[in-house]
Amino acid sequence: MVVVNNLVKSYGEQTVLDIPSLEIKKGQSIGLVGNNGAGKTTFFSLLLDLIQPTSGSIAIKGVVVNESEEWKKCTGSFFDDSFLIGYLTPEEYFYFVGELRGMTRVEIDEYLKVHGNFFNEEVLNQRKYLRDFSKGNQKKVGIIAAFMGNPELVVLDEPFANLDPTTQLRLKELVKQKMQSREIAIIISSHDLQHTYEVSDRIIALEKGQVMKDVLTEEITFEALEEFFQV
């Protein structure tokens, strides 16, 4: 699904990301973890063609992301409120994204009905623009929009941040539900080790731009993962 080949990102003489090889397969939920400056956001930015690599490549379904836009058809993502359109209401935004994903209005309405519980009655039918919602409620919109149209790859950066405890639990259930079919790959970057560990099949730990640990969660305890960051 995602293949990294000699991927390097440098700014001047400082190399912020250096990953010789990495493969993420469909059916895997990946937890990308690391301290500030580890390279998580840089990796996501390269994956979504928001910045250009210094050398090497990253491909989605065989398509090098900075050479073609075909990968966008199978990829959903949410970073922060910059991915939203602030002057739209949530409903307008969902219709916009859904139609881009080839969904009819009836299908979009049904999709929102199915996922309505995630919003905790704080998002839909509020007669407010997205820019006027709290960060947490904006994030709810972005996360649900990322899964529209049944993408084969979903990328979420810090999805648990700014969410209330109830929605954090619902997000974990949402990820587990989406993974049941094994027809999707989900990559989550988060500082919250506990939540990330609980929803991931595989943990990839970055440190100073390099992969320092790549392990299946069934092969490592949460306590052992914590110890990695205590060294």
Contact 3, 58 (CB under 8 A): yes
Tokens in use for 21? 């090889």
Q: CB-side exposure of 92: number of CA atoms within 13 Å? A: 12
Q: pLDDT tens-digit profile of 193-212?
A: 889 999 999 999 999 999 99
Given a cut of 80, whether residue 231 has pLDDT beyond it is no
Domains of the chain: 2-83+144-230 (3.40.50.300)
Q: pLDDT tens-digit profile of 150-169?
A: 999 999 999 998 889 999 99
Pairing of strands 153-157, 185-189: parallel
Average pLDDT score over residue span 158-185: 90
pLDDT, mean over the chain: 92
Average pLDDT score over residue span 133-140: 92
Percent of the chain with pLDDT over 70: 100
